[in-house]
Structure 1
Amino acid sequence: MSWQAELEELRRREEFAEQMGGPDKLARQHSRGKMDARARLAALVDPGSFREIGKIAGKGHYDEDGNLAGVTPAPFLFGKAEINGRPVVATADDFTIRGGAADAGISRKMVQAEKMAHELKLPIIRMIDGTGGGGSVKTLEQIGATYIPAVPGWSDVVKNLDTVPVVALALGPTAGLGAARTVASHYSVMVKGLSQIFAAGPAVVDGLGEGYKGSDNHQQAKEDLGGSGIHTRNGVVDDEVASEAEAFARARHFLSFMPEHVGQLAARADCSDPVDRREEALLSLVPREDKQVYSMRRAMEIVFDSGTVFEIGRMWGRACITALARLDGWPVMVLASDPSYLGGSWEAKTSEKVERFVKLADQFRLPIVHLVDNPGFMIGREAEMAGTIRYGVQAMNAIYRASVPLASIVLRRAYGIAGSAMSNAETFQYRYCWPSGDWGSLPIAGGLEVAYKSELEAAQDPEAELAAIRERLDKVTSPFRSAERFNVEDIIDPRDTRPLLCEFAQLAWRRLESET
């Protein structure tokens, strides 16, 4: 006796699942410039690699004789897939079914996806489009009671943050739990004009009496409340892209630098860029005038393997550039001062950003390269109001706690406590300094008039006296004076930076491999 009838029912239920919210809802999704959940999964992962789990889960609709008339699929899809040839858990919210609200779904599906990731040690990608929370106020009337909030399976979300790489792509309006799922990640992306993030949406905010610009236009209201222009600049989300396709590409690129799980080392890539490449442009990169800026991103492009610099968080904490890159194929985490923003001074957000990415590097065992041009923590009333010193010390603490190898290159300035946070001074200092190096407990130029006040007041020509003092101090502050006392390890030709960092990467990864 065959089971053909049951297989036919299975195929019928699968067809219902593939219809998602139905033709009208799909057309509305597409008219907003958004891909549907199944198209997103196909575009994100390696072709043909997605194997769906729980495809026929949903709410069945039956006629008066108990026969299946239709199925409203669960608004959450997940399964095993591959990205760059490596296994992952891929998930996608389906906005065409009740706007992706969890009250239309089966919470166990989402919980199982999270469990699958940390129990099988697979990276997880969340494509988030909807609330994903406990439903609407109207749901309470249907239930007949309210309840104390709880999030089923949140402990699994936390475990994943400790266990595997987690990527979140916000691909539509995300509120409540959807917003929380976006933030609970190691790397997150929003699509400009398409996705928004908020603890509660515009209607709820207006209901609490807070009006805001654009409230007469629903889409504009969502942008004003939680668009990518807000959240990629306050650090809630890492990056902003122009399209869903770009979001998928960045997710794949980020994962290419990561191991599959904590405890496994990231993979080395093939490299055709010569280790001994010495670029003349580095010799004149740092200007002689100390107040002139230069492009640190240009330095990164020159020093690291060609085309491998993957910047993260460009729009927030801008005094420090954070990126993943490669040296002779070896992956590294990069911290790099940006002298074009606040002169490279660390304010609160920059310090928060440094702390986060140092912890990420330590967790996934990526060596750190720190390109330093830091005149210190930001000073002034606004900096004090923002609690800069607290965030700055937390960043410094993260660097001191990190157990992965770290190399620092001092291109120009290293002043004060922020300057001392370039590396852990209690360990071996794998450090090189350019001849343009300028360091100390505080910038000399800012303290001359105070330190030499009596001499200047007694001088017949204070300006000439000040010039003479500056000339004397220029000799004392020469980086070669520091090198005489072995206060700096080596002053190098800037053109040797890449060969020396490639040597560091080889030694760093030799050590990391010995630990496994």
Structure 2
Amino acid sequence: MTELQARRAMARAMGGAPALQKMRDAGRMNARERIAALLDDGSWRELGSVAGKGHYDEQGHFRELDPCNAIVGTGRVAGRKVALHVDDYSIRAGSSEATIADKWIYIERMAWQLRMPLVRLVDSAGGSVKLLMQSAGSKLPEYVNWPVQELLRTVPVVGVALGSCAGQGAIKVLFSHFSVMVRDQAQVMAAGPHVVRQAYGVDIDKNELGGWSVHRKNALVHNEAADEADALAQVRSFLSYLPRSVHELAPVVACDDPVDRADDWLKDAIPHDRRKIYDPRRILKSVFDRDSIFEIGRHQGGSVITALARLNGIPVGVIANDPKVHGGAMTSQAAYKMERHTNLCSLFGLPVVNFVDQPGNQTGLEAELGGTLLGAVRVGDALHESRSPWVSIIVRRCFGMAGALHGPKGGEQLNHRFAWPSARWGSIPIEGGVMAAHKKEIEEASDPAAKRKELEDYYLRISSPFRTAEKFGILEIIDPRETRAVLCDWIEDAWRVVQGDRIGPR
């Protein structure tokens, strides 16, 4: 018992007082402070707490322990069990040269086999050439040798970048369903500035190389956080919408927001002037349960919004076009973002609500170089494979190939869709279509602008959504103020479908 307590105390000391003070001076939590900040009080149960390198005297008596820089165990977030894989930066900068890989591989296997969410708190400098000294030789690089794909197919996985995450550290962040990094503190990269300098002769700061300003553009990491507390709060929020595993249901919470709440301003949410933009996030806040929206990837592929939210307490996935960015068009990044979110919701049994204002695929040389059409095709594949109950609310435009991708249509999936009176659809937007079809007529008119407006007004009249509704080409045209009530009615039935798929009929 005495030796056990001594070993535990040495493990809790981590890298020692000077190393911990250095982290504190830099405004950073240490590994155990991060665990405490994430988990419910008193819920932490550590595994392998005394793993490390033991030192003994000549008679074989224990003297001291150099603890492993991987801390693993289980705890609870809002009462629900999660597995934790945490790097201890205070011990050799969290490098793999000072770790016991079996320890963190075990917790990942445990999360998969016991079907509990996994959170990785990553603060690792990656590998080191000193491994050559330890192993007295080198080995061929291998594909990841822990059950990454099995994990990602079974339980929610979260990666949090809390420092410089290079090499294997980057892999731990990126092999996840949700990732977040701390601004100006975390970097995610293949290799650090020293390697880049040697390889390319380029001097570059680590934040310029792999910081938040880089990844908010390239979608490598989903979200950014103001500080560590914000990052951990985002982890808690993300997990609150998801089930423990694909074999269970996501948690439903009590809701005191009336299902028939009808915010009057919604009737004027879409401008009468078709060339004016609006704030789609304000519409989402008005329709979903109050304070329930958690946005994912806000600064990437900005023409589409992806989020998690709730309807009458039931978790749902949210997709919406944002006309403030590229007019809401489908760009290559927006396509990737929509594909990723569709797959997430399908995997974990979340119904999807899509607010559609889609003018079509982005056009032009930049779009063609970016492979926009290939991205749109991948969205189509994701929609075809999606098992989520799905409803589309067409609020304004729905045109072309990208417009056709507003929801699943094949197989057993319903093309379940409603429209606001402001909606218009077709193969091409009226504005561009009129100029393309009547170019000569407009240019030869005595007043080209007036002629163009005359033609546009004509085509708008015959493209009225009510003409489509006459033929039942749209399920129903609704007053925008009815949207919340319609969706809350739909989610009751959609959730029963999810229940049947996950746990069988009740």
Which letter does structure 1 place at the counterpart of 2:234? R
Q: Deviations over 1:5-39 (max 9, x none)?
A: xx101111111101100111111111111111111
Distance verdict in 2 for CA 1:466–1:253, change over 3 Å: closer
> Aligned pair 1:139/2:124, yes or no?
no
* TM-superposition CA deviations, 1:114-166 (whole Å, max 9, x none): 011011001011000013x4x31133134322111236633x12211111000
Q: Counterpart of 2:498 in 1: which secondary structure?
A: helix
The amino acid of 2:372's aligned partner reads T
Matches within 5 A, 1:24-423: 24-131=18-125, 133=126, 135-150=127-142, 153-154=145-146, 156-212=147-203, 215=204, 221-423=205-407
Contact 2:75 2:81 in 1 (8 A): yes
Contact 1:41 1:91 in 2 (8 A): no
CA 1:471–1:228 in 2, change beyond 3 Å: closer, same or farther?
closer
Q: CA deviation at 1:461?
A: 5.5
Shift of 1:478: 1.4
* Pairwise CA distance, 1:455: 4.1
- Judged with a 3 Å threshold, the aligned counterparts in structure 2 of structure 1 residues 227 and 499 are, in CA distance, closer, same or farther, namely same
Q: In 1, distance between residues paired with 2:100 and 2:460?
A: 70
Letter in 1 for 2:188: I
SS at match of 2:84: strand
One-letter amino acid of the structure 2 residue matched with residue 49 of structure 1: S
- Contact persistence 1:293–1:339 (CA under 8 A): yes
1:233 CA drift (Å): 2.2
User: How far apart are the structure 1 equivalents of 2:332 and 2:96?
Assistant: 36
1:376 is displaced (CA, Å) by: 0.6
Q: Secondary structure at the match of 1:435?
A: coil
Contact 2:222 / 2:296 at 8 angstroms: preserved in 1? Answer: yes
Contact 1:107-1:152 within 8 A present in 2 as well: no
Given candidates 474, 490, 493, the residue that maps to 1:507 is: 493
Structure 1 residues 350-370: Cα deviation after superposition (integer angstroms, max 9, x where no partner): 000000000000000100000
SS at match of 2:496: helix
Q: Displacement, 1:374? A: 0.7
Deviations 1:282-307 (A, max 9, x none): 01110011111101000000000000
Shift of 1:91: 2.1
Cα 1:150–1:51 change in 2 (3 A) is: same
Alignment CA distance shift 1:315-1:330 (3 Å): same
The code of the aligned residue for 1:144 comes to A
Aligned to 1:334, the other structure's residue is in SS state: strand
Cα pair 2:97 2:130 within 8 Å, conserved: no
Aligned-partner residue type, residue 162 of structure 1: R
How far is 1:60 from its partner? 1.1
Deviation readout 1:331-356 (Å, 9 max, x if unpaired): 00000111111110010000000000
Q: Secondary structure at the match of 1:395?
A: helix
Q: How does 1:453-468 map to 2 (within 5 A)?
A: 453=439, 455-456=441-442, 462-468=448-454
- Say if 1:207 and 1:369 are closer, same or farther in 2 by CA, change over 3 A: same
User: Which residue in the other structure is 1:479 paired with?
Assistant: 465
Rounded to whole Å, the distance in 2 between the matches of 1:92 and 1:325 is 28
**Contact 1:319/1:344 (8 A) holds in 2:** yes
Supply the distance in 2 between the matched residues of 1:291 and 1:365 (Cα, whole angstroms). 37
User: Secondary structure, in 3 states, of the residue corresponding to 2:476?
Assistant: coil
Report the residue type matching 2:47 in the other structure. Answer: I
Instruction: Show structure 1 runs of 5+ residues with no match.
Output: 1-6, 216-220
Deviation at 1:425, TM superposition (A): 3.1
* SS of equivalent residue, structure 1 residue 78: strand
Structure 1 length normalisation: TM-score?
0.94
CA distance in 1, matches of 2:140, 2:26: 35
Q: Match for residue 446 of structure 1?
A: 432
Q: Which amino acid aligns with 2:58?
A: E
Q: Residue type of the partner of 1:122?
A: M
Query: What's the CA shift string for 1:402-433, capped at 9, x where partnerless?
Result: 12110000010011000010012344222110
Structure 1 outlier segments of 4+, above 3 Å = 453-468
Deviates more, 1:92-101 or 1:391-400: 391-400
- State the one-letter code of the partner of 2:496: R
- Mapped pair 1:430 → 2:424: no
Instruction: Please tell me whether the aligned partners of residues 430 and 460 of structure 2 are also in contact (alpha carbons under 8 angstroms).
Output: no
The count of corresponding residues between Structure 1 and Structure 2 is: 500
Identical amino acids, percent of aligned pairs: 42
Q: Residue 3 of structure 1 aligns with which residue?
A: none
- CA, structure 1 residues 210+502, in 2 after alignment: closer, same or farther (shift >3 Å)? farther
Change (3 A) 1:79 1:456: closer
CA contact (8 A) 1:111 1:152 kept: no
Shift of 1:108: 0.4
Equivalent residue for 2:483, pick from 494, 497, 501:
497
Question: Which stretch has the larger CA shift, 420-429 or 289-298?
Answer: 420-429
Q: Deviations over 1:198-221 (max 9, x none)?
A: 111111111102414xx4xxxxx1
Residue deviations 1:415-457, cap 9 Å, x none?
Answer: 1000010012344222110011011100111122331245446
Contact preservation (8 Å) 1:191, 1:240: yes
3-state DSSP class of the match of 1:332?
strand
CA distance in 2, matches of 1:367, 1:361: 7
Q: Distance in 1 between matches of 2:143 and 2:361?
A: 39
Q: Which runs of 5+ in 2 are unaligned?
A: none
Shift of 1:462: 4.8
Mapped pair 1:14 → 2:8: yes
